[in-house]
Structure 1
């Protein structure tokens, strides 16, 4: 019997196939999804779904559609898509949506990302727990509700590409040579449409594709650019081709990572600050959301450009909720998720990439010089430690730094008068503590990092 508590996470459904996530589970979740929305007084007569390139994704999506049909909903099936393409469909059509993907996880995984109409998020505190419990009850009962088969298949790629082109105009930039590593994920499907000329007129971009073949077994490397090992090929290709920059997308292409002309990674915090300045130029005085592990440079630069920085917890459901609450024009996370008010407050790696291309192409400096203006501090990157008792370790660190400025918005954040800070957060799913450290100098960062790690691992 399937135990949905093991695969329904804080923001989505994620598990191994077929033992944890299979067609019976997907069908039950499809029925529960429609029922819970309807019980909450939300529109659910029609939904939109799509899937990534994993072998297990099409049958899971079809099973979910059958479950939604059984609950009385019509289904618009978009077929292959990136996650942000599904968000586009949910927003543009004002329909609840479900995307079948395990993002950057290995091939044996799959998952479901669900949203309300208008791409509004669904998390554990905003309906996902109810969907889990309703689906679990269906599975436990052995019932398989049936309904009229009402599935309309429609290709959404061209409409998505055209919409993104209206948000960032790349037609007048200087010519750029761009290496794109799709990691055999959905970027290989969307990049030719948005940045290439497969469905729209050509842009002044010379796209050099890497691993554009859709292959859910990920034969070249994991589709997780957050791991430095997975961007080594991109870095070398940028240098070999003398490219202006490189872009790397994760498996469902909702995150975008950037390397400069030297093949060096550009910090997601620097990208957040850069895109924030562009959005503030367009919408002066607006609110910008940043999560609490982005660089201190982000709120500083936002304030210097007349914006209102607002700090939020890590995680897309928290960022999206804060975006909607404050009507923020843009939000960024250090994990390379970027959120736009012009995109229904949803995250889209492609739109962030377009902003980076525009910022680079509208001036003459190389990306390394352009990005340097947004990088003011030295960061450790996220360091994971396996611990037996997360709360005990957090308590020990809290006691050791009791004289410093602390807060507990998301885990423990400790700030010092010299501008250094660290944050420790407990993983929701693993016995891990996640540490991020930042300081004005590399020496200070290393000193603080090593001191905190000694407490965590000692």
Structure 2
């Protein structure tokens, strides 16, 4: 049909457009007095993409900004992931990045997950900047830019993070539920109701910012850190200075108990309800108010000095339990008392206690 017009195909290199946005973000954010175009000049930054999609960050973001990326590894996408799993929470993956950073004497290391919606980092000393530390660091930047903002996180964050956000940074910590969509949607809801919330982030490294349309973009979070890294260098500071007052637990553990019944959701909720009643009868234990998932217990005995959170998995027939303590041996003490309660539930696999 001659009346139908011929279409046109215009190939676009979206990765370059995407990367250039980060380049401009760093240039404008740092506003370097001597080399505006290359504000990362003199910084050695290692990227470990784990053969996921994040390898572009080294060549298309860091190098145009003047950074030395020598020692960056596993930048080529390979779905068989021959080196390590691209997961910022994976111990092997973080160890791989740390080894590269220390071997290269680099200033900073970056690791992404498969599709770059999660990220973590390592500083020049090999210290991990993930989980509570990453949330604290991004929160420090956000609350400097937006004083008093609410920071929405998932349910397993530390008491020390709450203290850091609320007492040191004068923000509001809204500890919500696991699941990145849960924290993002909750942050959006708060904004719609007139309560400013500029950051929604999980301990997994899954984070989204209001200024970036609440997209869960790990590269964006890392770029915010890079601006701070360059500014800190200019001012003779260290990036880790942002979180020097963050109190971290002496010990932490996560136990995952499988539920061996078909209706695991109902069974799990019975356990949560019974644990609430059990806690009321325990010396030194108390239910933490404003908890939106499972049951969170403050464990106040001197030999425990911590907390536990027992909840249902979002998708699996599993009850995860997170425990933290501020004293050596405290996790074992809390776990021992919890075991006396869980031992009555025959459909639970208690083997994680042995491990």
Same fold (TM over 0.5): yes
> Is contact 1:291–1:311 with CA below 8 Å preserved after alignment?
yes
- Partners of 1:361 and 1:246 in 2: how far apart? 14
Measured at CA, do residues 240 and 265 of structure 1 come closer, stay the same or move farther in structure 2, by a change above 3 Å?
same
Following TM superposition, by how much is the alpha carbon of 1:285 offset from its aligned partner in structure 2, in angstroms?
A: 2.1
Match of 1:320 in 2: 184
Measured at CA, do residues 381 and 372 of structure 1 come closer, stay the same or move farther in structure 2, by a change above 3 Å?
farther
- Partners of 1:450 and 1:229 in 2: how far apart? 29
Aligned equivalent of 2:208, options 317, 324, 339: 339
Q: Deviations over 1:104-154 (max 9, x none)?
A: xxxxxxxxxxxxxxxxxxxxxxxxxxxxxxxxxxxxxxxxxxxxx998753
- Partners of 1:435 and 1:447 in 2: how far apart? 14
- Partners of 1:393 and 1:150 in 2: how far apart? 61
Aligned equivalent of 1:427, options 302, 313, 321: 313
* TM-score, normalization by structure 1: 0.60
> Is contact 1:187–1:252 with CA below 8 Å preserved after alignment?
yes
Following TM superposition, by how much is the alpha carbon of 1:365 offset from its aligned partner in structure 2, in angstroms?
A: 4.9
Q: Deviations over 1:231-274 (max 9, x none)?
A: 22222112211122322111111111222333342342121112
The within-5 A match list for 1:231-242 is: 231-242=94-105
Structure with the bigger percentage of strand: 1
Moved more, 424-433 or 363-372: 363-372
Aligned equivalent of 1:227, options 62, 75, 90: 90
- Partners of 1:308 and 1:167 in 2: how far apart? 27
Match of 2:46 in 1: 179
2:270 pairs with 1:380: no
> Is contact 2:123–2:129 with CA below 8 Å preserved after alignment?
yes
> Is contact 1:196–1:207 with CA below 8 Å preserved after alignment?
no
Measured at CA, do residues 170 and 417 of structure 1 come closer, stay the same or move farther in structure 2, by a change above 3 Å?
same
- Partners of 1:217 and 1:318 in 2: how far apart? 30
Aligned equivalent of 2:296, options 413, 416, 426: 413
Match of 1:309 in 2: 173
Match of 2:163 in 1: 300
Q: Which runs of 5+ in 1 are unaligned?
A: 1-148
- Partners of 1:402 and 1:347 in 2: how far apart? 39
> Is contact 2:86–2:112 with CA below 8 Å preserved after alignment?
yes
Moved more, 162-171 or 219-228: 162-171
Moved more, 359-368 or 209-218: 359-368
Measured at CA, do residues 395 and 285 of structure 1 come closer, stay the same or move farther in structure 2, by a change above 3 Å?
closer
Q: Secondary structure at the match of 2:71?
A: strand
Match of 1:402 in 2: 280
Match of 2:14 in 1: 156
2:229 pairs with 1:357: no
> Is contact 2:132–2:157 with CA below 8 Å preserved after alignment?
yes
Q: Which runs of 5+ in 2 are unaligned?
A: 1-6, 33-38, 192-196, 262-266, 343-349
> Is contact 1:272–1:331 with CA below 8 Å preserved after alignment?
no
* TM-score, normalization by structure 2: 0.75
Q: Secondary structure at the match of 1:362?
A: helix
Following TM superposition, by how much is the alpha carbon of 1:343 offset from its aligned partner in structure 2, in angstroms?
A: 0.8
| 4+ residue runs over 6 A deviation | 149-152
Measured at CA, do residues 272 and 422 of structure 1 come closer, stay the same or move farther in structure 2, by a change above 3 Å?
same
- Partners of 2:9 and 2:315 in 1: how far apart? 35
- Partners of 1:454 and 1:256 in 2: how far apart? 38
Number of residue pairs the alignment of both structures matches: 306
> Is contact 1:289–1:323 with CA below 8 Å preserved after alignment?
yes
2:323 pairs with 1:437: yes
CA RMSD of aligned residues (A): 2.9
Match of 1:448 in 2: 334
Following TM superposition, by how much is the alpha carbon of 1:216 offset from its aligned partner in structure 2, in angstroms?
A: 0.9
Following TM superposition, by how much is the alpha carbon of 1:181 offset from its aligned partner in structure 2, in angstroms?
A: 0.9
Following TM superposition, by how much is the alpha carbon of 1:205 offset from its aligned partner in structure 2, in angstroms?
A: 4.7
Q: Secondary structure at the match of 1:414?
A: strand
Following TM superposition, by how much is the alpha carbon of 1:185 offset from its aligned partner in structure 2, in angstroms?
A: 0.3
- Partners of 2:59 and 2:206 in 1: how far apart? 21
Q: Secondary structure at the match of 1:180?
A: strand
